[in-house]
Structure 1
Amino acid sequence: DNWSRIVTELLGRAGITINGPSPSDPQIKHPDFFKRVLQEGSLGLGESYMDGWWECERLDIFFSSVLRAGLESQLPRNVKDTLRVAAARLFNLQSKKRAWIVGKEHYDLGNDLFSRMLDPYMQYSCAYWKEASTLEEAQQAKLRLICEKLQLQPGMRVLDIGCGWGGLAYYMAKNYGVSVVGVTISAEQQKMAQERCHDLDVNILLQDYRELHDQFDRIVSVGMFEHVGPKNYRTYFSVADRNLKPDGIFLLHTIGSKKTDHSVDPWINKYIFPNGCLPSVRQIANASEPHFIVEDWHNFGADYDTTLMAWQSRFLDAWPEIADNYSERFKRMFIYYLNACAGAFRARDIQLWQVVFSHGVEHGLRVAR
């Protein structure tokens, strides 16, 4: 029928064959797959996978091929997708009230899952694979890289905005002798971070970052800016500004979009990160300009591909131990998410940036790599 003809032709442009022999070729199990994908776009593709309507041995290759070929821009724009982009422009989806949603719906999923999938420091963000061969090494390399870029000295006060399960706070306090204040909006994360750091000079607060009025020598924020939202970028940088001492350094670690738009992948928004939005270079530059100078901008997005694939293999290894707590549909959702993201980083469709800001440190900074 026409539906399958259109999808077959579209995927053909990316070198993908429906029911073909390659591990990246999707195997279709349900006749309505084609119609659903064309009518519902990204949401239909993801939900039909969760429903078992298609299989694909190497989803990561499937996604990187689709994105490299630019197919997402050739799919008919779904009315719902268009409305979602309009909503992101008009409304503040990350207002103080709504900001807590992602804490509940994603980060509180369960420590049983995250503690098995992630490294011992529970880093749910990109690792640094420059000289590492295991996930644990790569995450420690990332933590060390951050501390060296921040030029931490014993006795400094450090603010960690969006501190997660406290791995970075622990690492900084333990290895660099600094005192840390961490902020999170996930109750599960706060509890675990407090336990992890109980014998160190670390204070973990369950609150919105916008409530902070203090003075720190250093500020760091890893994997949190993706949840801030374009309406709040200016606020975010003004909060960092007012909390940073005149000679301080601020490091922002965030996933980035290669173009400036408000589009959020509808499937990711619904199932993984409600109210998330990836910033562009321009958006970060515009919002930070009144407050800081950019000392350094480092992109290692290709390392996120490696990180996500490492998480997937650990997730699959751990599944038998945690399967009783989750559904089979959840498993398919999570695998789809890890692979879709890995494919997007591999296609260089999305980036990972560490940006170092200061108020204009005298003599400049020699930034670690």
Structure 2
Amino acid sequence: MLDSRSQDDAHRTGSRAIDDLIATVLANADVQINGRRPWDLQIHHPDTLSRIAAQRSLGLGESYMDGWWDCDALDEFTFRILRAGGDHLGKNKWTLALQLLGHSLRNRQSLRRARQVAERHYDLGNDLFEKMLDPTMAYSCGYWKDAETLHEAQEAKLDLICRKLELEPGMTLLDIGCGWGSLLEYAARHYGVRAHGVTVSTEQARLARERCKHLPVEVLLKDYRAVTGQYDRVVSVGMFEHVGRRNYRTFMETSRRLLKDRGLMLLHTIGNNESTHCHDAWINKYIFPNGELPSIKQIAQQAEHRFVVEDLHNFGPDYARTLKAWDANFQAHWPELSGQYDERFQRMWHYYLNLCAGAFRARTIQLWQWVFSKPGHRVQAYRAPR
């Protein structure tokens, strides 16, 4: 039996081994502990590395929220960890790198739990999102092909969606997960459509109705599974990440039921490179409860026999630039927000935006726009704009 001195020695030896292992992973990513470069970690608490090793993604995020470590370029740190793990590390070290830094959202969402993400994320306060987002209030990836500013990128994304859907005046449009009404407002104002939007967020519905009150737009506080009727066009932007793999079939069947025979549907979603049943503990706990990223395989399997895939467009790297623009807005407006949110929230939100930006830069996750039609109803070739 070990005496107290032997136990202390064993504990110190074990801690050093853990610290050395993490240091090796960081070294492979060219990240230094207490280094001088923007992507190096600045450690403020002696138990930081042990906490990360024990709790993996949750420990990494929570220790940052608690001020145990800092990094001037969190997105670059994330990018380097993921890039090194994917390209240069062996299987065991790559596994450790992924455990250290979770990078996607994977968990199911039942009808009963559908409002949890609204209550814990989208209903945080419209003031927060109004300060962080651009005037369109689009909370999804901008399209930076010809854009210089966040507002230009978001308007370009909205217009790209409208052109891909081939919208014409008088058409009816359903937006599943309409957010604060950015696409509803744009499509009604610039393309003359009559639009319905559904969201499970009370705050989003309230602001969307206010923004669209003089347009032929109706915003419903409703789950997509409860929607009835048929529409010329159906669209979903940044909502599919909350559907969950057990509901992908239901989503596709519901969308098909709501779409007229000659219609088009556009699905805009973040995606994972691989099909997986795992989820990231920190993201799930603090940012998107019950979220889950689909793979191309998972989407295609549920679209099969229900839709024709007319187009698939990936512009995932644009999301890194979008997230950095949101973070810049958030930091610039923090003095105005600090009366309602504490410092730990500030660190959490900054970490979230940069964590995701780094993952998109590393191409660990993607941004896809799918265009679907119903089988046998569109004879002419579809030409997707870019």
Which ranges of structure 2 fall in alignment gaps of 5 or more residues?
1-15
For residues 329-356 of structure 1, the C-alpha deviation after alignment (integer angstroms, 9 at most, x for no partner) is: 0000000000000000000000000000
Q: Which of the residues 80, 93, 97 maps onto 2:112?
A: 97
Is it true that 1:263 corresponds to 2:278 in the alignment?
yes
Q: Which amino acid aligns with 1:75?
A: L
Q: Which of the residues 311, 320, 324 maps onto 1:296?
A: 311
Distance in 2 between the 1:294 and 1:278 partners?
A: 19
Secondary structure, aligned partner of 1:325: coil
* Cα gap change, 1:271 to 1:174, in 2 (>3 Å): same
Indicate the residue corresponding to 1:341 in structure 2.
356
Q: Which of the residues 132, 136, 141 maps onto 2:151?
A: 136
1:254 deviation in Å? 0.2
Q: Which amino acid aligns with 2:239?
A: M
Is it true that 1:110 corresponds to 2:118 in the alignment?
no
Q: Which amino acid aligns with 1:74?
A: T
For residues 253-277 of structure 1, the C-alpha deviation after alignment (integer angstroms, 9 at most, x for no partner) is: 0000001102221111110000000
1:295–1:356 Cα contact (<8 Å) kept: yes
1:252–1:356 Cα contact (<8 Å) kept: yes
Superposition pairs of residues 1-369 of structure 1, within 5 angstroms: 1-70=16-85, 73-75=94-96, 88=107, 93-360=108-375, 361-369=378-386
Distance in 2 between the 1:5 and 1:257 partners?
A: 31
Q: Which amino acid aligns with 2:121?
A: H
Q: Which amino acid aligns with 1:58?
A: A
1:290 deviation in Å? 2.1
1:173–1:179 Cα contact (<8 Å) kept: yes
1:158–1:220 Cα contact (<8 Å) kept: yes
Q: Which amino acid aligns with 1:366?
A: R
2:171–2:194 Cα contact (<8 Å) kept: yes
For residues 117-155 of structure 1, the C-alpha deviation after alignment (integer angstroms, 9 at most, x for no partner) is: 101110100000000000000000000000000000100
Q: Which amino acid aligns with 2:126?
A: N
1:37–1:44 Cα contact (<8 Å) kept: yes
Distance in 1 between the 2:281 and 2:366 partners?
A: 19
Rg comparison, structure with higher value? 2
Identity over aligned pairs, percent: 56
Distance in 1 between the 2:227 and 2:304 partners?
A: 21
Distance in 1 between the 2:348 and 2:21 partners?
A: 26
CA RMSD, Structure 1 to Structure 2 (Å): 1.5
2:25–2:97 Cα contact (<8 Å) kept: no
1:128–1:139 Cα contact (<8 Å) kept: yes
Secondary structure, aligned partner of 1:220: strand
1:6 deviation in Å? 1.4
2:142–2:319 Cα contact (<8 Å) kept: yes
Q: Which amino acid aligns with 2:332?
A: D
Q: Please report the TM-score for the alignment, with normalisation by the length of structure 2.
A: 0.91
Moved over 2 A (4+): 71-74
Distance in 2 between the 1:67 and 1:323 partners?
A: 32
Q: Which amino acid aligns with 1:154?
A: P
Secondary structure, aligned partner of 2:292: coil
Distance in 1 between the 2:381 and 2:217 partners?
A: 29
Distance in 1 between the 2:286 and 2:277 partners?
A: 18
